A and B are shown apart, each in its own frame.
Chain A
Amino acid sequence: MLFFRSEERVREWCAAHDYPVRPLVTMDQLWTLATTWYSTRLQEDSRRPQPDEMRSIFAGLGLGGDFWHPQSNSFG
């Protein structure tokens, strides 16, 4: 899970390592993910989102498809 300056840099990095290019996430989307996962982490009743909650969170950000599906069987 890495930062890149632009989509072009992502494509260069993936090509150099023979990796597939995955869906790109903006900084605003990343902040929403970070706050959703971690804003209660220091509290007694905190817990990680469950798979169905994860799907809902991702979908709300426009991050859909098998790549963001926490229980997908599409990736071996």
Chain B
Amino acid sequence: MSFDTQTKLAIYRHFAETGQRPSLEVVAENVGSAVSSVREAYLRLRAQRVLVLERDGASIRMAPPFSGVPTQHVVIVDGTKYFANCAWDSFGIPAALQRRGQVHSRCEQSGEPLNLEIGLDGPPPSSWLFHCLVPAARWWDDIVFT
């Protein structure tokens, strides 16, 4: 397994197990490497669009579908609380974990709460809708806004 893949898996498994982003030091310890090497791997993973970093180049803002910071999209799986980057990613967390979960969010216009039980086969019949403002070709121009 390549070093970048080891690093990616260490990050994602930390998110999966804790709901929280790992520090650079924790990832370095988990892959048995120097912090400087892991920081370089972060940049390559960013280029592959599997990681979004804060401006310090060390703190993880996104490891899609997981968010490293609190958001309005909360997902509960097996008692662990996760934050998703967006509505799409809120479904992505139970999909990635391959577990049942609860998605809690809101209607962006009215503020009405959304509470959906996600089974292994997806959500129950629902008339809620998903709206993506940014065209697919522009998503990564500003992925935080997207």
Contacting residues, chain A, for B133 (C-beta < 8 A)? 1-2, 14, 19-20, 22
In the bound assembly, the distance between CA atoms of A3 and B130 in angstroms comes to 5
A6 touches B132 (CB 8 A): no
Interface size class of B (residues with CB under 8 A): 35 or more
Return the chain B residue nearest A41 by Cβ: B96
- Indicate if the CB atoms of A68 and B136 lie closer than 8 Å: yes
Known A-B contacts A41-B65, A69-B137; A2 and B130 likewise in contact (beta carbons under 8 Å)? yes
Asked if B106 CB lies within 8 Å of chain A CBs, one says yes
Cβ of B95 within 8 Å of any chain A Cβ, yes or no, is: yes
User: Are the CB atoms of B12 and A5 closer together than 8 Å?
Assistant: no
Question: Among the listed B87, B88, B96, B131, which residue makes an inter-chain contact with A10, where contact means beta carbons less than 8 Å apart?
Answer: B131
Extra A-B contacts (17), CB below 8 Å, given A3-B129, A10-B131: A2-B133, A3-B107, A4-B108, A4-B130, A5-B109, A12-B109, A13-B108, A14-B133, A24-B131, A26-B129, A33-B88, A38-B89, A44-B1, A44-B5, A72-B135, A72-B137, A73-B137
